[in-house]
Structure 1
Amino acid sequence: MSAVTAIRNIHELTPDPKTGISWAELEAVYLHNRTSPFQVPAPVRPEKPDYLALPEKPAESEGISFLGKWFESESAKAERHAENLRRWQQELIDVERENTLRQHRYQQQRTAWAEQYANWKFEAEEHEKRLATAQADARQQFRTDAAFFESYLAGVLAETEWPRETLVAFEVKPELSAVLLDVDLAEIEDFPDKIYGVNARGTELTEKAMTQKAVRENYARHVHGCLFRLVGIVLHTLPFDNVIVSGFTQRVSKRTGYLEDEYILSCKCSRSQMSSVNFAGLEHIDPVEALGDQPVIRKMSSTFIFQPIEPLTL
């Protein structure tokens, strides 16, 4: 499967909620955990990112041919050097943007890790206290133990692989039978804009540029597919009724000039609504249309350009 296909069709990896865990099965896991030593590993502290080296400013002689050393005119020399400087400046902008984005994501990961670690430490300490609790008390607490549900879901999400870096934060509301998720989506600038193949003879690699609309369409399918997949994962993992999932991306604010989070997609899906999906035929589903059948907030043009939105809440 090509990278483009994997990105476009990420929704095809969505599990069927109808085959997920039941309340009885999850309760058995809960009761077992309440009488067993704490076994959840501590969250792994994120590593500092590797930053790209800034490109060196080109010398005036860069790119000159052997004959050009002797015969290049002053105007040609100036034009060549100006083009080298233009490319260098663009590369510098691209590298600085990428390094800023890596630093921003690292800070988000560190913040998320610190919160997860604090929760893990709290849960480890609480678990030792709960070992003395009678099983009857545990049964009464089961359906309202948000920390257990969040820990169980976190374990599943940690094992979930994505073709592009996809960071997920969530909150479980047992009293409302709901899960809320925020997804840090990939940037459209990082999406493939070329299609690679092999020529008819099978001897050479071919490269074909994609149109900007095609790139945006792939991005739209991907972000909708990510949300669709997360809804399926949640309903497959926890026997709750509702999921609200919102996706955001980083953009340079025209107001402040800094990178800021902008929500571009938000939807609410119920178990009953998802039960109408044919999970045996996900390859026939368009995730953009599938989420459009749910309560959804989005400002997407016919050419797949997204505008910022206010996400859904409970």
Structure 2
Amino acid sequence: MVARRRRGAADADQYKPEAHSSDGAVVYVRVQEDGEFVITDDDGQPYDETELRVLRKYAGEGMRDMLQQACDRLNADLSALATVHCDTLSPRDKPAFQSRAFPEPEPQRNPLLQPTLWSRIWPPARRRLEEQNERRAEQYTRAFSEWEEAARAFNEQERQRREQETELVLTNLDAMANILEEHLGEIPWPRETSVSFDLGDDASTIAIDIELPEEDAFPDVEYTLAAKQPKVSVKKIAATRRRMLYRDYAHGVAMRVLGEIYHRLPTVQVALISAYVPTLDTGTGQPTENYLYSVLVTKSQWREINFKALANIEPPATLERFELRRKMTKTGVFKAIEPFDVEALANEVGI
């Protein structure tokens, strides 16, 4: 039995677009969560009112562009959460390997220092020049040796990865688990999302549990730039829209995980995915799970999806094509369900 757990989360970094006014000054605009924005110079110092009037006069359009970019950045979560399924991979029957080149460039030899007139006529100066050139040569030799050793280690890792992803993946459960864990870990989930899986004793089936984030972790505001003025408005997202965003993400995650399974593990024919949110038992106060849905998907069913039209697909409707347990209203209100057990997974083998 091979069971693994993989946790992923997107990194949130500060976004600070820049533009240049006509006099060459660097301008930074940072929009804050309350919609207020700050305009600073290259050293982070705010411009005064006189300077701002000049900027608006000569760099007004550039400032609007920067504000729009900042709004887009703040709203990026909304798009990422709604379209997490759009990068779902198509199924494969044969293993494939994509090699990677060693990322570090080969060190270059520094040119030798050329003798000067003084070093030609003064022996101590000549010795210093020779010593400097010797140090340069030694530094290059050491750097090249370290690079060569790192390149050999990298190439050996690539050889092992090739063997694992083209040969062992067909027969070895540990290799299958390693491959799936690695690629699931590379998914930049826009909200913290955990995936655990169990390959059991059969390379043709897999059971997956997905721990979803709470709906409260989803954005509740949207940022828009005024039509004519350099002003950012913060608009509250309606509760229904937020629930539907959560609904789409909850189902889109399953599609993304299924894509990895049927793309990376050619021998898997049936997958069971169950998604839950952690909670506390109201009777005991102990941690427990509220399962939102549980779905059985065969590889033959998965092939029916048009993976070239993922942007036109609604993940909740996609999962409804399979054997699905779910209690959900049209507006995305979930009720807890009892997920399929592994016996149901075993019964699907051979379909």
What interval of TM-score do these two structures reach, taking the shorter chain for normalisation? 0.5 to 0.7
Query: How far off its partner does 1:192 sit?
Result: 0.9
Task: Answer yes or no: is the 8 Å Cα contact 1:184–1:247 preserved in 2.
Answer: yes
Which residue of structure 2 lines up, in the alignment, with residue 235 of structure 1?
A: 262
- Please tell me whether residue 268 in structure 1 is matched to residue 342 in structure 2: no
Aligned match of 1:3 in 74, 77, 89?
77
C-alpha separation between the residues in 2 aligned to 1:198 and 1:257? Answer: 46
Query: Which residue identity lines up with residue 165 of structure 1 in the other structure?
Result: E
Gaps of 5+ in 1: 30-134
Task: Answer yes or no: is the 8 Å Cα contact 1:242–1:270 preserved in 2.
Answer: yes
Query: How far off its partner does 1:142 sit?
Result: 6.9
| Larger helix percent | 1
Gaps of 5+ in 2: 1-71, 100-162, 346-351
> Which moved further from structure 2: 258-267 or 284-293?
258-267
Which residue of structure 1 lines up, in the alignment, with residue 240 of structure 2?
A: 213
Which residue of structure 1 lines up, in the alignment, with residue 280 of structure 2?
A: 252
C-alpha separation between the residues in 1 aligned to 2:256 and 2:184? Answer: 11
C-alpha separation between the residues in 2 aligned to 1:166 and 1:235? Answer: 20
Shift of the 243–208 alpha-carbon distance from structure 1 to 2, 3 Å rule, reads: same
1:252-300, Cα deviation, whole Å (9 max, x unpaired): 3332344422111111111111111111110000001011111111111
So what's the TM-score if we normalise by structure 2? 0.53
Residue 251 of structure 1 aligns to a residue whose secondary structure is strand
Query: How far off its partner does 1:303 sit?
Result: 2.5
C-alpha separation between the residues in 1 aligned to 2:269 and 2:291? Answer: 24
Task: Answer yes or no: is the 8 Å Cα contact 2:169–2:265 preserved in 1.
Answer: no
Query: Which residue identity lines up with residue 215 of structure 2 in the other structure?
Result: I
Query: How far off its partner does 1:145 sit?
Result: 2.4
C-alpha separation between the residues in 1 aligned to 2:259 and 2:210? Answer: 14
Aligned match of 1:310 in 338, 342, 346?
338
Task: Answer yes or no: is the 8 Å Cα contact 1:145–1:174 preserved in 2.
Answer: no
Aligned match of 2:190 in 136, 139, 163?
163
Shift of the 202–10 alpha-carbon distance from structure 1 to 2, 3 Å rule, reads: farther
Query: How far off its partner does 1:16 sit?
Result: 1.2
- Please tell me whether residue 22 in structure 1 is matched to residue 49 in structure 2: no
What is the number of residues matched between the two proteins?
A: 201
Which residue of structure 1 lines up, in the alignment, with residue 140 of structure 2?
A: none
State the superposition RMSD in angstroms.
Answer: 2.4
So what's the TM-score if we normalise by structure 1? 0.59
C-alpha separation between the residues in 2 aligned to 1:173 and 1:253? Answer: 29
- State the structure with more CA Rg: 2
Residue 169 of structure 1 aligns to a residue whose secondary structure is strand
Task: Answer yes or no: is the 8 Å Cα contact 2:173–2:203 preserved in 1.
Answer: no
